[in-house]
Chains A and B, each alone.
Chain A
Amino acid sequence: MPEVAIIGVGCTNFRGRHPDKTYFELAFDAAKAAFEDAGIDKADVGAAVYGIYNDFFQRQYQPDAFVHDYLGLPPIPAVRVNTGGATGGSALRIGYAEVASGLYDIVLVLGVEKCADCFDYFTKNPVPEVLRAILYTSDMTYDNPIGRTAASGFALAVLAHMQKYGGPTEEQMAKVSVKNHGNALKNPRAQSGMKITVDDVLKSPKIVDPFKRLDNCLYTEGAAAVVLASRRKVAELHPKKPPIWITGLGAALDWAFPGNRESIAEFHGCRLATKKSYDMAGITDPLEQFDLAELHDAFTGTELMSYEDCMFCEPGEGGRLIDDGTVWPGGKLPVNLSGGLIGCGHAVGATGLMQTSEIVWQLRHEAGARQAPNARRGLVQSIGGTLCAWTVSLVLERMD
């Protein structure tokens, strides 16, 4: 029997900018929604874990302390987690450990991120300055000074994968963009739902080869919160909504200088973390055993690589699953029904918890127009850092 359940979730709209909210105000909205969803009072919370990525994005170092204050949670303990794009998943992992260890019966895990208050006055556009803020989290001595971006790191991995395996093709990558932008049309929280074609993606401006603009996720502001409860507490509370159990959890931090890895054509750490979560949950045939998955599609090519790292197929075969319909809505294993990072958005610290919220809604059958029929078990993949340094993999299940 699993030890930790999700009893409540809350997620703000994901938008390019929320000029009417600060980071702590966004956090408040998500926390309040999660407490209401769980049917608990903030006084029931034993501890909090905050996933917040970039201090420049909030214009504040140690923003977690101020979030905690605005949520009215003092003096219960709280910690902040930052593992790049995987911040949300990592926050959930720490929350899981705090509950499973018996330290606390109820833990709030909350991710929040601003970004578009960063602003480049020369181009009158936030994006170049957002990228500059992100590059302070790459290695400052060897990598930052050469002008690389998060996109070029992942582009190098996808290109190395193409050289080694002959794929994915740019058309297959474009199909991921079509799918995820399309899925987002059914998600009212999503930032960029769009009906587009493969041609639209291929003809969009080049960003970093082989990625065009529509192969990339956008920068997003938002917050998402998850309330975790111990098995004992779930039995005591009898929550109205079915608890969603965390039955598998795996994590890894690979070499952050990817030049030190055996290969940059696969994400070895990601594969190990995923395998660990599968072993814990008893997953031996993911394509059969999962009803849906939310994977970290910061870039189309990396979603395709993730099909391989998550063992939906053999290495080098990721492109086939987008061609044959497997990962589309109605397919055998729909991926990113929320729209993913490309369609719903990438509010970095909140992203892993937005993905988790989506799986929770799907498993409760509350996902409305985008509901996967009879969903009982789902996968969340949260990755981040240079060429997928961090991975957190979570298996979520409904057991009633």
Chain B
Amino acid sequence: MATSKKDAFYRYHAARLRLPEDKLRPIYDDELDGKKKPDDPFEVPDKMDVFFKYSYGGQSRFFREIFHHERLLGAKCPACGKVYCPPRSVCPRCYEKTEWVNLPGTGKVVAFTIQHYSTSAFVKKVPFLVAYVQLDGADFLMMANIEMDDVTKAKPGMPVKVAYRPEKSGSITDIYFEPLAD
């Protein structure tokens, strides 16, 4: 294919996919240079995406307290007394509307694993920790990241406390856990 047509193909898809052009090159060169046979698979770049203005609905206060005040809330069922974190606006066991309660932000690690590999959104972050944390004052486990200098020092049962990122995005990653200094 004439260089200009080839460049146009890469330029078009790089702009559409919002990818650097060099990431697409030279994957499609054989096709563009007419080197494929008539019945070879014909491959093209593509992407599926949707933008959102997502509402947290009845869980909004949980995220707003983290975002504005660095406070961790749980949701307590007035009937059974169970406290949920992640919160729920109703108790799935009693079908009662829950009430907000403050949590101390401390807890312990029930189980943790080291991610040595992850999705394309996280490959640059490895190795990192994913754990189930039993929060003090809550009745169920929360899946969370634990951040520590040496991930190999993590231990089951390790006490942890919540930490807040200085630059917040409004998502659950505004919080993480770190070992509680002993």
Q: Which residues of A contact B (CB under 8 A)?
A: 19-20, 56, 59, 120-124, 128-129, 131-132, 134-135, 141-143, 145-149, 152, 155-157, 159-160, 163, 205-210, 257-260, 264
Q: How far in angstroms is the closest Cβ of chain B from A313?
A: 23
In contact, B132 and A156 (Cβ under 8 angstroms): yes
A147 to B128, CA, bound (A): 9
B156 lies within 8 A of chain A by Cβ: yes
B130 lies within 8 A of chain A by Cβ: yes
| CB neighbours of A131 from chain B (8 A) | 118-120
B102 lies within 8 A of chain A by Cβ: no
| Complex partner residue of B132 from A141, A145, A205, A259, CB under 8 angstroms | A259
In contact, A155 and B113 (Cβ under 8 angstroms): yes
Chain B residues 77 to 127 lying within 8 A of chain A, measured CB to CB, are 86, 92, 110-123, 125
| Complex partner residue of A146 from B43, B92, B173, CB under 8 angstroms | B173
In contact, A123 and B116 (Cβ under 8 angstroms): no
Stretch at the interface among B67-75, B141-149, B159-167: B141-149
In contact, A146 and B145 (Cβ under 8 angstroms): yes
In contact, B121 and A147 (Cβ under 8 angstroms): yes
In contact, B48 and A56 (Cβ under 8 angstroms): yes
In contact, B120 and A123 (Cβ under 8 angstroms): yes
A205 to B116, CA, bound (A): 9
B23 lies within 8 A of chain A by Cβ: yes
Across the two chains, which residue of chain A brings its CB closest to B145?
A146
In contact, A152 and B130 (Cβ under 8 angstroms): yes
A-B contact pairs, 22 of them (CB 8 A): A19-B43, A56-B48, A121-B17, A121-B23, A128-B119, A128-B123, A132-B121, A142-B143, A145-B172, A146-B130, A146-B172, A146-B173, A147-B118, A148-B143, A149-B118, A152-B130, A163-B111, A205-B116, A208-B116, A259-B132, A264-B110, A264-B132
Across the two chains, which residue of chain A brings its CB closest to B124?
A122
A56 to B47, CA, bound (A): 9
| CB neighbours of B128 from chain A (8 A) | 147
Q: How far in angstroms is the closest Cβ of chain B from A136?
A: 10
| CB neighbours of B43 from chain A (8 A) | 19
Please give me the 5 A-B residue pairs with the lowest Cβ-Cβ distance, nearest first: A259-B141, A128-B120, A147-B122, A131-B119, A132-B119
| CB neighbours of B116 from chain A (8 A) | 205-209
A365 to B100, CA, bound (A): 61
| CB neighbours of B112 from chain A (8 A) | 156, 159
Chain B residues 1 to 50 lying within 8 A of chain A, measured CB to CB, are 17, 19, 23-24, 27, 41, 43, 45-46, 48
A259 to B130, CA, bound (A): 13
| CB neighbours of A143 from chain B (8 A) | 143
| Number of chain B residues close to chain A: CB under 8 A | 43
In contact, B113 and A209 (Cβ under 8 angstroms): yes
In contact, A129 and B173 (Cβ under 8 angstroms): no
In contact, A146 and B143 (Cβ under 8 angstroms): yes
| CB neighbours of B86 from chain A (8 A) | 141-142, 257, 259
Across the two chains, which residue of chain A brings its CB closest to B82?
A260
A323 to B108, CA, bound (A): 34
Across the two chains, which residue of chain A brings its CB closest to B43?
A19
| CB neighbours of A19 from chain B (8 A) | 41, 43
A123 to B119, CA, bound (A): 11
| CB neighbours of B17 from chain A (8 A) | 121
Q: How far in angstroms is the closest Cβ of chain A from B38?
A: 13
Q: How far in angstroms is the closest Cβ of chain A from B138?
A: 9
A122 to B22, CA, bound (A): 10
| Complex partner residue of B113 from A123, A124, A152, A260, CB under 8 angstroms | A152
| CB neighbours of A20 from chain B (8 A) | 41
In contact, A259 and B140 (Cβ under 8 angstroms): yes
A210 to B113, CA, bound (A): 8
In contact, A147 and B46 (Cβ under 8 angstroms): no
In contact, B156 and A163 (Cβ under 8 angstroms): yes
Q: How far in angstroms is the closest Cβ of chain A from B27?
A: 8
In contact, A132 and B120 (Cβ under 8 angstroms): yes
| CB neighbours of B115 from chain A (8 A) | 147-149, 152, 208
| CB neighbours of B120 from chain A (8 A) | 120, 122-123, 128-129, 131-132
Besides the contacts A122-B23, A147-B119, A163-B156, what 5 more A-B pairs have beta carbons closer than 8 Å?
A121-B23, A143-B143, A146-B145, A148-B130, A156-B132
A134 to B143, CA, bound (A): 17
Across the two chains, which residue of chain A brings its CB closest to B176?
A146
Across the two chains, which residue of chain A brings its CB closest to B24?
A121
A120 to B121, CA, bound (A): 10
Across the two chains, which residue of chain B brings its CB closest to A20?
B41
| Given contact pairs A147-B121, A259-B132, A160 touches B113 in the complex (Cβ within 8 A) | no
In contact, A135 and B171 (Cβ under 8 angstroms): no
In contact, A141 and B56 (Cβ under 8 angstroms): yes
| Given contact pairs A132-B119, A132-B120, A141-B172, A121 touches B19 in the complex (Cβ within 8 A) | yes
| CB neighbours of B145 from chain A (8 A) | 146-147
A103 to B123, CA, bound (A): 49
| CB neighbours of A129 from chain B (8 A) | 119-120
Q: How far in angstroms is the closest Cβ of chain A from B105?
A: 16
In contact, A147 and B110 (Cβ under 8 angstroms): no
In contact, A149 and B119 (Cβ under 8 angstroms): yes
Q: How far in angstroms is the closest Cβ of chain B from A267?
A: 14
A236 to B142, CA, bound (A): 56
Across the two chains, which residue of chain B brings its CB closest to A213?
B117
